[in-house]
Amino acid sequence: MIRIPSFDLSSRNTFGMKVRCALFVEYSSVSELLELLSEDLPQPVLHIGGGSNLLFRSDFPGTVLHSAIVGISFAPSVISSSPSVISSEVEKSPAPADDSVIVEAGAGVVFDDLVAEACARGLWGLENLSLIPGEVGASAVQNIGAYGVEAGDVIDKVFCIDAATGEEVVFAASECAYGYRDSRFKHEKGRYIVVKVTFRLRRSYSPTLGYGNIKAALEGRDLTSLTPSDVRDAIIRIRREKLPDPAETGSAGSFFKNPVIPREHYDRIVASTPDGKVPHYDLPDGMVKVPAAWLIDTCGFRGAVKGGAKVYDKQPLVIVNATGSASPSDIISLENDIISAVRSRFAIDLHPEVEHI
């Protein structure tokens, strides 16, 4: 277990905010976590993963916990392409009878390492989620999604410790209340600490290619004989073209959620738009989802700067720490400017996807 008082969190949040917490603790087993939960830790307590969906507004007065429970294990029926890291923290599940394969991963596993390993073994299900920053524990909290796939589609079970009682609680995916970047864990914040997640992947050919420009990125390929790694490579190419690499430029990915508005409201926006072209997705309940990126871009914010914060040129849904030394107030000030402009022009309230701490 690692314990560091007055810890500098700048390398633990992808925005690169230079903030401190009173105490940082990294545990590497469930028993260490249980020991910690019985202690009198500086309050409040915040559990982080890779810090890729967080904006620290200021120093954090309490304890920041991080899981180093690592290890990926595949049901034994899968032929291994390479030796897998097996942790004693992760127990084996019996192989399912159908063509699916249960994959278990500790909460502290880097999510993209899991995706890479699954693809290398020819397993379908995670490939569209390639290159999303962060760790396995948070993927189940956030219900991360990209290119038509959400974590909740492939999660089998989420294994948690109830922080209040210290008891293990296991949720089937159907009990996690998954929605767009939403889950029960977000609504019961701080109660459940995810320690491991199982995913149900498939051996049989089952790509999801209908979203974004995946097919264009696979042009020239025979779409009936792709491997999960082919799709992963295409997704990585697409993402690298339009999203900042957290290793080079601080950000937390999409800053705002895409708003959902009534059809009449959407029709009014179309009528007031010179070319009448407003990108949108019709939802089954008759509501309309409008890309926040289009709203932000139309309000003229692409490339807008506030102190060290900037709206990313290639994707206006992303706010970046352009100078590397942006302060939380630079980011929040730019966020507020965007919210005000979109509200006054379109009468839409944008809500941040990034969690403000």
- The one-letter code for the residue type at 30 is V
Of 244 and 308, CB closest to ligand FAD:
244
Among 33, 37, 78, 146, binds ligand FAD (CB under 6 A): 146
296 binds ligand FAD (CB under 6 A): no
The number of beta carbons lying within 10 Å of the beta carbon of residue 105 is: 30
Annotation marks residue 3 as catalytic: no
193 binding ligand FAD? (CB under 6 A): yes
The correct pick among 16, 125, 145, 259 for binding ligand FAD (CB under 6 A) is 145
93 touches ligand FAD (CB under 6 A): no
Residue 33 parent element (H or E): helix 30-37
When asked if residue 52 is in the footprint of ligand FAD (CB under 6 A), the reply is yes
The minimum distance between CB 181 and ligand FAD, in angstroms, equals 6
Of residues 23 and 193, the one with the C-beta less far from ligand FAD? 193
Helix pair 228-242, 111-120: axis angle to 10 deg: 140
Total of chain residues touching ligand FAD, rule CB under 6 A: 34
Q: How far is the CB of 263 from ligand FAD (least distance, A)?
A: 26
CA-nearest of 18, 36, 16 to 26 is: 36
Rounded to an integer, what distance in angstroms lies between the CA atom of residue 357 and that of residue 355?
A: 6
Q: Report how far residue 67's alpha carbon sits from residue 90's, in angstroms, rounded to the nearest whole number.
A: 13
Distance, in Å, from the CA atom of 218 to the CA atom of 294, rounded to the nearest integer, reads 26
Indicate if 57 belongs to the active site. Answer: no
Contact 57, 328 (CB under 8 A): yes
Under the criterion CB under 6 A, does residue 142 sit at the interface with ligand FAD?
A: yes
Q: Which of 87, 93, 254, 335 is catalytic?
A: 254
Please say whether the beta carbons of 331 and 251 come within 8 A: no
Interface residues with ligand FAD (CB under 6 A) are 14, 46-54, 67, 107, 132-135, 137-139, 141-142, 144-146, 181, 193-194, 243-244, 246, 251-253, 355
